[in-house]
A and B are shown apart, each in its own frame.
Chain A
């Protein structure tokens, strides 16, 4: 924050309150919560990608000592209602799923039965003894197969596997194509990923038969929607369910939906009258929790010779997997809506297809719209390449300028208080692009491959109710809070969010402290308990700061107004004009200075609670204030990422030499926490772009079921990230907060891809597919002409050599995946 900040506590880099318990092993995560007599479940999962269930024989499993029961989809169908998703969205098929499959499995890892036993070891032994007979069916392991005529139907109730299809056009893209000097086509293929929270899923369900009440301990980002889902699916009322979220070891979007396993555990607790718990193992988490991405995009940009984009068209296909825990267009829609982002484009069309396949179902993963900025800035880079222009100049000529704001994107989304050109110039200046180009040219002469990638991000952060309404998605973007000053003068507060490790407790206490006029240390923010917190929409997108912090800030201001009204009467003043609460003390403005009145918040609280007859007319006893707030339809943050890489041509290894992010996320509650989110998002984006990949073979068998196969980046693969903070407040939100924490994914995917393509430019190849693994890089290098070490690159187009790389024994040569590049 700048020195002239209007805030006392907002913007202070306070270390986090939750650290001490995590550092000393005293955090309380799901598996640390115990209940006497709790039973353990293990799921029996399908070894087939697609098969009829023709019989389940659990006799041997039931006979094992310590086993309480084995249950199947037929049992669960008696105890629970199916999930039906049928939002009124054109082109989206309604879908329905039972709690466990009854007659057909749809992916490798689909749960077919559940074993309940006295402990996990026994449950897993018993699961091995459950004999399931399958009649295997042909499978659709990719979108091409799934969309082919007579393809196997993933969902038997649908006419085909194209579960969602939407088209849109604004302006006249065809006319722009006709008048363009060139139409540049570019391709982007973002592979399948999964969230990998360090803590897997799990839950502990406790049915109290006497009260007919379910207490569900579960790490969830959205406690109240989770409560509503549990009640509806179990056929009980929301008054009969309490959801309690303990500390969460990471979520990243994987802990939003009510999954089938969790509903099964809740139903079993009710059926058996015992606490029942489930702890997912890592194999289950990688194969059966939730996947994400696997999106292919093609853009066609109609451009003038100077690089100005006149019109843009997008074709998008997403491989959604086998089940819809969300409306199938949920993630793809946002990509298409905000694609044009930082650029001044008005003629735009999209065609978005979402396809069911025999894989684990997709869900939102940190930045559901992750591919967006790669597609847009990658299109810019393609334009620059085809026209022989400087990619930086093509960005500048298309960039939204301050005078263009507020800018209505072709999809109707309104951008204001964003600074994409400023972040671009800040990042470019930090990198010193001319100096880099000189180094790059020299390196090419030495046979080394250096590249620079730029990616500007406009990140949709906070989704208000107006957005959901316009999108036809049921739900709301509002948030609710209460602030309670207790009789002793300390402050309890609550909001409907639930953090999954970001560190909400400190920045949200700062928002309350600012709004109320106390120190953050006296504020305790309670989250994750549906009987304590007000009904809120939980944590998703990047709404924590704007929706959560904003609501608490406004609620605390409302509480301060009541405190000051009481203080005014204590001071024998007619009204609270000229009074403020500052660090827990009531102060009065006299001439140009704030002066102490000798009245503290504790004095006011004592009067409000213990001497209410002394309160002024019209003031109710107590200091208990609640408030709801609905943010604007959408808030946006923006950033530019710049990434320098060097590629080792012999091994295909990418070394990141420098990584810079210039980011404008408005007013920040706590810059320490924000910086941690920015670094973490870039890291997750790079890890996904470089290493991680969910691999299915052509039979739909998951080949990446351990952390030795699904590679999450370690400290050796990730760079230090330089952050250049900008703080342009949003004029429509409380305190000017915008939110952030997903844009880092968007920018890093685009920046690393741009850097690799820039490095490979003299070879005439482009990185169109991820992950940018050594194998893929080697394949690209081979495609460029059996290239080997020692070649120089100063003269594009003349780099083909006659050497055969196979003699060098590089990693790509023995890898069967290299032909995918």
Chain B
């Protein structure tokens, strides 16, 4: 169970070969072995959503996944969302609308909604709140996060139309 095994992971388009015990959580491998510390660990039982990353484009809990299970899958983490100085429309809207305070839950929210807005370009406030209920935030009361997500959706729609 705890004897290390070779694992090959594709994260943010790069291939990483590492050795880790099969029981090692994906969240721990991302943070400790790959030094991608933008993925945060808030509860380790799948409730808080801070560790949300994309597995083959779908939001998933890195704390409920073993790294060894991820061979052959494409992983995307918060480190891949911005490009240099360019923030994604969602990141930019969260900044402008003060949609984050301590920032610990932020990566999970960004990853959840990068995927959601890609698939749902025109969500209602109620739909955004429903999806956001999978991510706990203790600082903001969610109001500015919801505003930012709706704003990002609009910016992305306008960008597509342009």
Contacts and interface: CB of A to CB of B under 8 A. Distances in A.
Interface stretch (A17-25, A291-299, A797-805): A17-25
A58 interface: no
Given A18-B103, A25-B36, A282-B44, A680 B98 contact: no
Nearest to B110: A23
A707 interface: yes
B128 to A, nearest CB: 8
Interface of A: 15-16, 18-29, 31-32, 121, 125, 196-200, 247-250, 252, 281-282, 500-503, 672-673, 675-676, 679-680, 682-684, 706-708, 712, 714-716, 718, 720-721
B45 to A, nearest CB: 6
Contacts of B50: 198
A277 to B, nearest CB: 12
Contacts of B95: 15-16, 19-20, 23
Contacts of B37: 25, 28-29, 31-32
A675 B140 CA distance: 10
Interface stretch (B65-73, B143-151, B154-162): B143-151
Contacts of B54: none
B98 A718 contact: no
Contacts of A715: 128-130, 132-133, 142, 145-146
B94 interface: yes
Interface string B46-86: 01101000000000000000000000000001110110000
B142 A501 contact: no
28 contacts: A16-B95, A19-B100, A21-B103, A23-B87, A23-B103, A24-B78, A25-B37, A31-B31, A31-B41, A32-B31, A32-B37, A198-B42, A198-B48, A198-B105, A198-B136, A199-B42, A500-B102, A672-B98, A676-B98, A676-B139, A680-B139, A680-B140, A683-B140, A683-B141, A707-B48, A715-B128, A720-B143, A721-B141
Interface string B94-111: 111010111111110010
Interface of B: 2, 21, 23-24, 31, 36-45, 47-48, 50, 77-79, 81-82, 87, 91, 94-96, 98, 100-107, 110, 128-130, 132-134, 136-146
B21 to A, nearest CB: 7
Nearest to B41: A31
Given A249-B40, A715-B132, A198 B138 contact: yes
A121 B2 CA distance: 9
A247 B100 CA distance: 13
Contacts of A718: 141-143
Given A16-B98, A281-B44, A282-B45, A676 B140 contact: yes
A716 B130 contact: yes
A20 B96 CA distance: 11
B138 A252 contact: yes
B106 A716 contact: no
Given A19-B95, A198-B102, A715-B128, 8 more contacts: A19-B100, A22-B100, A24-B78, A125-B2, A282-B42, A282-B43, A676-B139, A680-B139
10 smallest CB-CB distances across A and B, nearest first, come from A25-B38, A501-B102, A683-B141, A22-B103, A249-B104, A25-B78, A714-B133, A707-B47, A715-B132, A715-B142
A770 B39 CA distance: 35
A460 to B, nearest CB: 22
A25 to B, nearest CB: 2
A23 B100 contact: yes
Contacts of B140: 676, 679-680, 683
A248 B102 contact: yes
A29 B144 contact: no
B139 A250 contact: yes
A712 B50 CA distance: 14
* A interface secondary structure, majority: loop
B87 A24 contact: yes
Interface centre among A20, A198, A249, A720 (most CB of B within 10 A): A198
Nearest to A286: B43
A502 to B, nearest CB: 6
B103 A706 contact: no
B80 to A, nearest CB: 9
B143 A199 contact: no
A502 B36 contact: no
B129 A716 contact: yes
B38 A24 contact: yes
Contacts of B31: 31-32
B140 to A, nearest CB: 5
Contacts of A247: 102-103
A250 B47 contact: no
Contacts of B77: 25
A679 B101 CA distance: 11
A199 B40 contact: yes
Given A708-B45, A718-B142, A250 B136 contact: no
Nearest to A33: B37
Contacts of A503: 101
A680 B98 CA distance: 11
A444 B23 CA distance: 58
A16 B110 CA distance: 17
A670 to B, nearest CB: 10
A718 B87 CA distance: 28
Contacts of B98: 15-16, 672-673, 675-676
Contacts of A197: 102, 104, 138
B64 to A, nearest CB: 13
A199 B104 contact: yes
Nearest to B85: A20
A718 B138 CA distance: 12
Given A16-B98, A24-B78, A680 B104 contact: no
B62 to A, nearest CB: 13
B21 A121 contact: yes
A714 B133 CA distance: 5
B143 A721 contact: yes
A85 to B, nearest CB: 29
A250 B102 contact: yes
Contacts of B42: 198-200, 249, 282
A676 B134 CA distance: 21
A16 B24 CA distance: 36
